[in-house]
Structure 1
Amino acid sequence: MAKVKILDRRVFYADSLLFREGELGSNAYMIESGRVEVFITRGGVETHLAYLGAGEIVGEMALVSKGARQASVRATEVTVCSTITEQIIDRLLESCEPGVKALLKVMMKRLYATNQMLADNLREEAERAFRG
């Protein structure tokens, strides 16, 4: 397996956004300490998706899929993250066998499409609830 060089370390304070839903992703974050909340906003209403903590990675899907971020991520406490860039992800993928690389890309595209469908369903539910 290829070694991953972490470019920099960032500190996010409670309630700071790591990134917003809809932005193009230029990096992912490996959480070293602290905790973040993953959420989407539909009709002005935030919907909680997950909490992530030390040892977990967030933001990788936008890098691999080359698409927009599907959710926002906010620190819930002081959180220290290492930054993983698109170039590092690309190098890791290039080091994979062609079959493994193709499989990973297909899986990520399908996961991205499924997440988008679920987000659309949540948006529709929020809009219906908002209208009463």
Structure 2
Amino acid sequence: MKELVASAIAANAGAGQPSGSNGGTGSSTPASMKVVQLQNGQTLYAGAGAEFIVRTGRLLAVSNDENGIPDVTGGKDLPAGTEVALNHLLIFPAEGRGIKSSPKNTADIFVMVRGSYLLLNADGSKAAQ
């Protein structure tokens, strides 16, 4: 699964990324935030360096290894299965981590995303966006 997520994110690497550099100085314009809506049963995987802010809904942290997700607002790592607090900034240092809808969720799910990501359905297929 980790290889599948990594290859799919790499293929979508241009999504949400800066479009160019600032006059050849090596600095680039920061990528803007994109609002992504998740359906129940979907998982949103982050590319390396991506940032998420959960705006609505109940979501759980996902990780393909023992490492958690840095919750910058809360000042702690979220291990897999931990509920993600609303309006907290999550930074993903590596691929293979993300968030998924909680079985307890009854609300619409909206997440602000900066950087590359992959949205998968419950059956592992890529979700239409």
TM-score above 0.5, yes or no: no
Q: Which has the larger radius of gyration?
A: 1
Normalised by the size of structure 1, how large is the TM-score? 0.41
Q: Which is helix-richer, 1 or 2?
A: 1
Normalised by the size of structure 2, how large is the TM-score? 0.42
